Structure 1
Amino acid sequence: MRISTIYRLGVKELWGLARDPALMILIAYAFTASIYIASKAMPETLSRASIAIVDEDRSPLSARLANAFYPPFFVPPEFIGQSEMDSRMDAGLDTFALDIPPNFQRDLLAGRSPTLQLNIDATRITQAFTGGGYIQSIVTSDIDEFLEGHRAETVLPVELTLRARFNQELNKGWFGAITEIVDAITMLSIVLSGAALIREREHGTIEHLLVMPVAPVEIMLAKIWAMGLVVLVAAGFSLLVVVQGLLDVPIQGSIALFMAGMALHLFATTCMGIFLATVAGSMPQFGLLMILVLLPLQMLSGAMTPRESMPEIIQMLMLAAPNTHFVILAQTVLFRGAGLAAVWPQLLGLLAIGAVLFFLALRRFRRFLS
């Protein structure tokens, strides 16, 4: 195995990638626009939800309730008749419809317990789940203030002091940006390394390599370092320029330590991409394999849902996936500001998984060449 040969073959891979406009556009989009969109469009955040109000009471209290819904959580309410409520919700015009019955204020002042009806379009699951709690809290607080005649703070028997660490603003967009970077690193490292091998087979250049004095391990290592370097540079640029600069997400820990963990992660995922490319016969087949592999990796790694919420068997199985360890490392370093003493198990895990995947990919690659 010669270092000079691995270097020259890697440079060839970089030139081949530079001549592929589709992959270059994918890299640019994944580490710029995709990061920005993921940060600004977290599905759990209630934003400009549509609400309609059926005011059958026409009282000062009903007007007060209607005026309590305003941007950015809700759009200005639409005042409709009771006959329009079902048809508008069937057409998808309203996510929420609040029906205030006749004599609502009079019954409330008389000590009776009138009922408000809130209809929710549950097909919009994230807004329906979050918005229902918002509306209940708004209605309850406004009715209490109306009955008391003034705005009063609720006095609890125990004082609860909230201390939000690592994300003082409770901004879900911060997590969205980092999660999207982790997903983009995993996706592109598999795609680029696999596409590099399939591209050579489709263009017929793999036969040229077979007649040259190069070993299969040299060809494979060249693809690993070249494609890994592209993703490493693009992710570093995105972290510094897009995440820290454009989105103003505070990074607590060492970026150098994160990049070192990313290099180990890229070693494992590029080997995975080469292995999948040797199994697939063409680029469409490789795309289908990507769907089968990438979706479980992203959904079950702990980036979208905490691993503790998953069944124990899933938690154990996903320890064999490289991005499970990488997600833990990224959140520990970038958000909590932890050092090497906290993430060395993840680094060892990535190294071990990468070594196993390299051995399996190299064995399959040799059979592929023969």
Structure 2
Amino acid sequence: MRSASNILRLGVKELYSLARDPVLLLLIVYTFTVAIYSVAHGVQTEVKNAAIAVVDEDRSALSERIRGAFLQPYFQPAALIGLNEVDPAMDEGRYSFVLDIPPNFQADVQAGNSPTVQLQVDATAMTLAGNGARYIQYIVQTELIKFLSRSETEVELPATLVTRARFNPNLDSSWFMAVMQIVSNVTILAIILSGAAVIREREHGTLEHLLVMPVTPGEIMAAKVWANGAVIVLASVLSLHLVVQGLLGVLISGSIGLFAFGAGVYLFAVASLGVMLSTVATTMPQFGLLSIPVFLVLNLLSGGVTPLESMPETLQSIMQASPTTHFVKFSQAVLYRGAGLSVVWPQILMVAGIGLVFFTCALLRFRKTISMSH
């Protein structure tokens, strides 16, 4: 009971210290409001307003029909350019796609030949290039079918593929980006706040004051973990309600309370990692430089940016030791698919187990740092 009381009181002291730091408070507010909204609206993975040009060497009714099939909001009105303009236009980045329709295209199609239509793609933006190329291929094939059938109805096929998109029926990338940005920001803030709390004590000379009090290093560290974790959980829950659901209109299928519980377990692990990093760095600039590569690895290889299954098997196995990998899987299951505790309990246990290892390692480092400073 005495240990719990010490942890509670030290955590309250940590909250007061955080409340007197306007820079960190501004960072928390910005991270869970402006950063979420701007990324969700600014980062687009679907084809939208893509610049396309057509080299029409046929000048037939079919080629005109294909050129007119590129409509907004997916594409800008297709520009008609000459063959000699293609390379300069692509080099200057004026068009993401250039479709070259060869001479005698309509005549070859009507004769049953197989003319080749060339599509040049600026693959600088890989997601736009891949999705846009598929869109264009589908548009050209659809117009060919309509032209050959001489009607606006598709040719009767022996089988029909019906696609149903679950959890995001409009395939809106902002739904995905908004939630995953919260997961990403939870990680970086947990590392920054917990590590900054330790370094702030060291720089202000208050760490020595704690050493003369009847508290243990474990209690000091646990207080910093729960206090900073509680702030981040509260900020993320408010962001889900006010920004994601309110401003962005994203449908949250699952329980935000369950997400908050899982986030609390996850913050126990990541905040411990932040404390451990703060025992390696001696100043705030050093801590910032050390945190950046750690956060980038945790974020980029967690499965939130690219599917974990697309990575090499060895890397997939290594990333199972990262709590971020399991938290991303947990968050997607709860917030996107409405999964309950019966589905996500393995991820919670994995995060808790990894967090216990991080906390133990951080505590050993923290004790060593305190003994050296003392």
TM-score by length of 1: 0.92
1:95: Cα distance to partner?
0.9
Change (3 A) 1:64 1:159: closer
Change (3 A) 1:197 1:89: same
Aligned AA for 1:226?
A
Change (3 A) 1:312 1:150: same
Task: Give, in whole Å, the separation in 2 of the partners of 1:177 and 1:79.
Answer: 37
Contact 2:254 2:335 in 1 (8 A): yes
Aligned AA for 1:145?
K
Task: Give, in whole Å, the separation in 1 of the partners of 2:354 and 2:119.
Answer: 52
Contact 1:6 1:222 in 2 (8 A): yes
Contact 1:43 1:126 in 2 (8 A): no
Change (3 A) 1:285 1:154: farther
Q: Tell me how many residue pairs correspond in the alignment.
A: 370
* 1:203 paired to 2:204: yes
Question: Pairwise CA RMSD of aligned residues?
Answer: 2.1
1:193: Cα distance to partner?
0.4
1:216: Cα distance to partner?
1.6
> What SS does the corresponding residue of 2:194 show, helix, strand or coil?
helix
Change (3 A) 1:312 1:103: closer
The residue number in structure 2 matching 1:266 is: 267
Show CA shifts across 1:184-237 (max 9, x none): 111111111001111222233323333344322222122112111110110000
The residue number in structure 2 matching 1:364 is: 365
Task: Give, in whole Å, the separation in 2 of the partners of 1:163 and 1:272.
Answer: 41
- The farther-off stretch of 69-78 and 301-310 is 301-310
Q: Which runs of 5+ in 2 are unaligned?
A: none
Task: Give, in whole Å, the separation in 1 of the partners of 2:290 and 2:112.
Answer: 65
Runs of 4+, deviation exceeding 4 Å: none
> What SS does the corresponding residue of 2:100 show, helix, strand or coil?
strand
Aligned AA for 2:147?
F
Contact 1:98 1:119 in 2 (8 A): yes
Contact 1:275 1:361 in 2 (8 A): yes
1:121: Cα distance to partner?
1.2
After superposition, residues 108-187 of structure 1 pair within 5 angstroms as 108-187=109-188
Contact 1:325 1:346 in 2 (8 A): yes
> What SS does the corresponding residue of 1:97 show, helix, strand or coil?
strand
Change (3 A) 1:214 1:119: same
Q: Which runs of 5+ in 1 are unaligned?
A: none
1:238: Cα distance to partner?
0.8
1:35: Cα distance to partner?
2.0
Task: Give, in whole Å, the separation in 2 of the partners of 1:68 and 1:174.
Answer: 28
Task: Give, in whole Å, the separation in 1 of the partners of 2:314 and 2:117.
Answer: 45
> What SS does the corresponding residue of 1:138 show, helix, strand or coil?
helix
Task: Give, in whole Å, the separation in 2 of the partners of 1:204 and 1:305.
Answer: 43
The residue number in structure 1 matching 2:16 is: 15
The residue number in structure 2 matching 1:81 is: 82
1:135: Cα distance to partner?
1.0
The residue number in structure 2 matching 1:290 is: 291
Task: Give, in whole Å, the separation in 1 of the partners of 2:162 and 2:104.
Answer: 40
Task: Give, in whole Å, the separation in 1 of the partners of 2:233 and 2:248.
Answer: 20
1:43: Cα distance to partner?
4.5
Task: Give, in whole Å, the separation in 1 of the partners of 2:100 and 2:208.
Answer: 73
The residue number in structure 1 matching 2:26 is: 25
1:5: Cα distance to partner?
3.5
Change (3 A) 1:113 1:319: closer
- The farther-off stretch of 324-333 and 96-105 is 96-105
The residue number in structure 1 matching 2:227 is: 226
Aligned AA for 2:336?
F
> What SS does the corresponding residue of 1:57 show, helix, strand or coil?
coil
> What SS does the corresponding residue of 2:94 show, helix, strand or coil?
coil
1:143: Cα distance to partner?
2.3
Task: Give, in whole Å, the separation in 1 of the partners of 2:124 and 2:328.
Answer: 30
Task: Give, in whole Å, the separation in 1 of the partners of 2:321 and 2:117.
Answer: 52
Aligned AA for 2:148?
L
> What SS does the corresponding residue of 2:69 show, helix, strand or coil?
coil
The residue number in structure 2 matching 1:71 is: 72
1:42: Cα distance to partner?
4.3
